[in-house]
Homo-oligomer: A and B are copies of this chain.
Amino acid sequence: MAQVRNKQVLLKNYVTGFPKESDMEIVEGSITLKVPEGSSDVVLLKNLYLSCDPYMRILMYKDTPLSLGFQYSPGSPLTAFGVSKVVESGDPKYKKDDLVWGVTKWEEYSLVPSAKILFKIDHTDVPLSYYTGILGMPGMTAYGGFFELGCPKKGEKVFVSAASGAVDILKNKLGFDEAFNYKEESNLDAALKRYFPEGIDIYFENVGGKTLDAVLLNMRSHGRIPVCGMISQYNLSQPEGVTNLANLIYKEIKMQGFIVSQFYPLYPKFLEFILPHIREGKIAYVEDIVEGLEGGPAALVSLFSGQNLGKKIVAIAPE
């Protein structure tokens, strides 16, 4: 049976410190476009878009502390979220040309177990690439973390860290009431007091370290801190110490770490909520799409340089 080229991005070595492009390498493998005989639980995917997400850095550690059901190892392609088209399916739930999003690999074609997280894409009046972001894993992360763990009430004050991007774009284009660049603030505590004179009810935590420490001083009584990520810590050999945790007691704060998969059962409800917002133009959404698998390593590395704006995606095949 004919084989086709299957370009891949492999992890070259486990990473210490900031990830570099050279920690990955592009290779040209080949693949037979056929599900192996008798594989009733395997799907062959043609990958269209791959998603660059900060958690991938944690999986690049030897002995990663993160268990997502998949791991990275040197010499293997990165496993990550993407949007794909079904080439062939051993699992009768999927058929040729179905569009799916979920866990695939950084390569042109992937054989994945169908039991891995795959969601069928039913709505294609919105850009397919959105299923790597606002309509996919990151969207569910924001939705579940904010609504299910944050339990927002009308009038409450919300702080989101690492809403990366230029401050003027966050305010003028993305609709935040206020925004500041932490690199321009010599005193984070003072900055938070300026923007939240009455304190913070919900802190959507993406950063950790010094930012968390300053936020803890500015939380209100009965505040909630959904802990989505701590990106400032992922590349440090020794994480920063957080010193203000006693505020959890004084202010009766609930701080809750989560992994998005716990919210997957809410996906249909989430779509019902978010799709009308998108169709009616009520949500500003920015994508930063890199063309070609070759650009993948640089795209991934850029997440940690602070220059990222919008959802970083690698487009590897036309829709």
Interface residues of A (CB under 8 A from B): 58, 65-67, 208, 212, 221, 227-230, 233-234, 238-259, 262
In the complex, which of the residues A228, A249, A255, A258 has the most CB atoms of chain B within 10 Å of its own CB atom? A249
Question: Are B262 and A245 within 8 A (Cβ)?
Answer: no
In the complex, which of the residues A212, A227, A228 has the most CB atoms of chain B within 10 Å of its own CB atom? A227
Q: Which residue of B lies closest to A222 (CB)?
A: B262
The minimal Cβ–Cβ distance linking A249 to chain B, given in whole angstroms, is 4
Question: Are B257 and A256 within 8 A (Cβ)?
Answer: no
Contact of A246 with B250 at beta-carbon distance under 8 Å, contacts A255-B255, A255-B256, A256-B255 already known: no
* Protomer copies: 2
Question: Are B239 and A243 within 8 A (Cβ)?
Answer: yes
Q: Which residue of B lies closest to A149 (CB)?
A: B254
The minimal Cβ–Cβ distance linking A73 to chain B, given in whole angstroms, is 18
A interface, over-half SS: loop
- Residues in B with CB closer than 8 Å to A212 are 245
- Residues in B with CB closer than 8 Å to A208 are 245-246
Question: Are A249 and B259 within 8 A (Cβ)?
Answer: yes
Contact of A66 with B250 at beta-carbon distance under 8 Å, contacts A243-B238, A255-B256 already known: yes
- Out of B65, B251, B254, name the residue touching A250 (CB < 8 Å): B65
The minimal Cβ–Cβ distance linking A213 to chain B, given in whole angstroms, is 8
Question: Are A228 and B243 within 8 A (Cβ)?
Answer: no
